[in-house]
Structure 1
Amino acid sequence: KDGALQVHRGPFDRAQVCQQYSLEPRDLQKIDTDIIINVPTIDVRQNRFICFSFRRLRSLVQVDRSIFFVPSAEKILRGSSGIKDTIHWERIARAYQRNVRYAYELYNKRFITDQLNNIDLMPFELRITEINLETVAHQLELKTTGLLNEFRQIREQAYTCITLGSLRELALLKEKVDKYKRHADLSHEAILEVLAHNEDMIGMYLTDNRKRDIADHTQVELLLEACTKEMAEVRRSISDLSNSVRTIESAIGFILNAVLNELLTFEIKINIIMMGFGIGAFIAGIYGMNLLNGIEQAPYAFYAVAGSGFCFLSGFISIGIIRLFRYIKVRLHRSNKTDIF
Structure 2
Amino acid sequence: MLRAAAATHLRRHIITQRRRIATPESIRAVAVDPSGSLTPRAVDLATLRKTTGAPLRDLLNLDIGERTRRQRRACVLPRDKAVLLQLGGLTAVINADEALFFDNGGEERPRAALRRIGASVEFAFQHYKAPAFELAVLEAVLAEVSSSFQRRRDLYEPVVQKQLREASCEFDGFGVDGLHRLSAFDGALMSFEAETRQALQVLDELLASDEDMLGLLLSERRAGTSVDPERHGVVELLLEAYHRRLSAVAGDVAELRGKVQAATELGRVTIDLNRNNIIKFNLYLSMSAVGLAATTSIAGIFGMNLVSGIEEAPLAFGAVTAGSGLVGAAVVAGFHAAMRSQKSIEQRARHAADDREALTSLLANMATVENVFDDACRDLTRPAIAARLEAATGKKPSEREVEILFDIFDASHNDKISLREARSALHRGDAHPLIT
Q: Identify whether the pair has TM-score above 0.5, normalized to the shorter chain.
A: yes
CA RMSD of aligned residues (A): 2.7
Q: CA deviation at 1:169?
A: 2.4
Where does the alignment leave 5 or more consecutive residues of structure 1 unmatched? 72-88, 298-341
Q: Aligned partners of 1:160 and 1:229: how far apart in 2?
A: 37
Counterpart residue number, 1:318: none
Cα distance change, pair 232–262 in 1 and its aligned pair in 2 (3 A): same
Counterpart residue number, 2:199: 187
Q: CA deviation at 1:266?
A: 1.8
Cα distance change, pair 254–238 in 1 and its aligned pair in 2 (3 A): same
Query: Which of 127, 132, 142 is the equivalent residue of 2:151?
Result: 142
Q: Aligned partners of 1:231 and 1:256: how far apart in 2?
A: 37
- Are 2:57 and 1:43 equivalent residues in the alignment? no
Matched positions, count: 267
Q: CA deviation at 1:166?
A: 2.7
The structure number with the bigger radius of gyration is 1
Q: Aligned partners of 1:225 and 1:231: how far apart in 2?
A: 10
Q: CA deviation at 1:214?
A: 4.3
Q: CA deviation at 1:164?
A: 6.9
Query: Which of 150, 154, 160 is the equivalent residue of 2:163?
Result: 154
Cα distance change, pair 244–107 in 1 and its aligned pair in 2 (3 A): farther
Cα distance change, pair 223–44 in 1 and its aligned pair in 2 (3 A): same
Counterpart residue number, 2:282: 267
TM-score (norm 2): 0.55
Query: Which of 92, 101, 105 is the equivalent residue of 2:115?
Result: 101
SS at match of 2:219: coil
Sequence identity (%): 20
- Are 2:64 and 1:32 equivalent residues in the alignment? yes
- Are 2:136 and 1:127 equivalent residues in the alignment? yes
- Please tell me the residue identity of whatever aligns with 1:232: S
- Are 2:15 and 1:4 equivalent residues in the alignment? no
SS at match of 2:40: coil
Which sits farther off after the overlay, 35-44 or 131-140? 35-44
Query: Which of 169, 173, 181 is the equivalent residue of 1:169?
Result: 181
Q: Deviations over 1:213-270 (max 9, x none)?
A: 5454111111111121111111111111111111111111122222222222222221
Cα distance change, pair 276–106 in 1 and its aligned pair in 2 (3 A): farther
Counterpart residue number, 1:61: 94
Q: CA deviation at 1:132?
A: 1.1
- Please tell me the residue identity of whatever aligns with 2:73: V
SS at match of 1:207: helix
Q: Aligned partners of 2:128 and 2:86: how far apart in 1?
A: 27
Where does the alignment leave 5 or more consecutive residues of structure 2 unmatched? 1-32, 309-436
- Please tell me the residue identity of whatever aligns with 2:205: E
Counterpart residue number, 1:18: 49
- Are 2:128 and 1:117 equivalent residues in the alignment? yes
- Are 2:265 and 1:231 equivalent residues in the alignment? no
Cα distance change, pair 202–123 in 1 and its aligned pair in 2 (3 A): same
Which sits farther off after the overlay, 29-38 or 189-198? 29-38
Which structure features the higher share of helix residues? 2
The answer to whether the Cα contact below 8 Å between 1:56 and 1:99 also exists between their aligned partners in 2 is no
- Please tell me the residue identity of whatever aligns with 1:192: D
The answer to whether the Cα contact below 8 Å between 2:36 and 2:121 also exists between their aligned partners in 1 is no
The answer to whether the Cα contact below 8 Å between 1:31 and 1:53 also exists between their aligned partners in 2 is no
- Please tell me the residue identity of whatever aligns with 1:103: I
